[in-house]
Amino acid sequence: MSGTVTETVPEAPRVVIVDDQALVRTGFRMILTADGIEVVGEAPDGDSAVDTVRRTRPDVVLMDIRMPGTDGLEATRRILRDGGPAPRIVILTTYDLDRYVYAALSAGASGFLLKDVTPEHLAAAVRLVRSGDALLAPAITRRLVERFASAGDRTASLHRDLSALTPRELEVLEALARGLSNAELAGRLHLGEATVKTHVARILAKLRLRDRAQAVIAAYETGLVTPAGRGDGDPA
């Protein structure tokens, strides 16, 4: 049969695991390796994490937030301040309402996971953020913003001026903050998915944001979307 198209199989994500508990690191390594994901390094604290990331240049870092010495928040800031392509950082936490998680998202982390995540979800999360998407549970994100954005968290570093956005871009940002996927955005706004992706890219560029995670935080911090919401199909 002529005209056969050969699909390109994406390379396995390269991951660094950062956690002060060796048992957690070992468990995560086993889960990811079994799913075809390459673990290129481990670190027990923030200082070691920065060194390991500089040496191995992973695609994704799974970063514990609470560690002795340099914590995951400071390590995240230092990694993202380094020159060159930065990895996607996913915060690991045992708490779903943690001010450090909120601060890490504001600093540029691409999402967060609870440590009791299922093996399937862990592997899927790594692949999701490696593809450039954000890893956010909308309901938890709203609670994070409600608790910490209103407290004037000084660690937040987002560019909050939305005046550069067009009315359509504001509409896209609001829907994005409510947890809609590109496909759902396209359906709601009667646009093609490619057009939605273009709008999202322009929003990130104009607001100088790293990814969709920061865009969600910006939407709440500026008041474009309120934590309490007004229904409007918010995910539970």
* Chain segment 14-65, per-residue pLDDT in tens: 999 999 999 999 999 999 999 999 999 999 999 999 999 999 999 999 999 8
Collect all residues with Cβ–Cβ distance below 8 Å to 188 and sequence separation of at least 6.
175, 180
Select the highest-mean-pLDDT range: 3-7, 32-36, 118-122: 32-36
CATH number belonging to the domain at 14-135, selected among 3.50.50.60, 3.30.470.10, 3.40.50.2300, 3.40.50.300? 3.40.50.2300
Collect all residues with Cβ–Cβ distance below 8 Å to 94 and sequence separation of at least 6.
114, 115, 116
Average pLDDT, the chain: 81
Per-residue pLDDT, 10: 66
Per-residue pLDDT, 52: 96
What topology is assigned to 158-221 in CATH?
Answer: Arc Repressor Mutant, subunit A (1.10.10)
Select the highest-mean-pLDDT range: 4-8, 34-38, 117-121: 34-38
Per-residue pLDDT, 210: 77
pLDDT over 50 at 228, yes or no: yes
Positive or negative CA dihedral for 28, 30, 36, 42?
positive
Per-residue pLDDT, 137: 61
Per-residue pLDDT, 180: 76
DSSP letter, residue 135 = B
* Chain segment 156-200, per-residue pLDDT in tens: 445 567 889 999 999 999 888 877 778 888 898 898 988 998 999
Share of the chain above pLDDT 70, in %: 79
Same fold, 14-135 and 158-221: no
Sketch the domain layout of the chain as residue ranges: 14-135, 158-221
* Chain segment 56-94, per-residue pLDDT in tens: 999 999 999 889 899 999 999 999 887 678 899 998 888
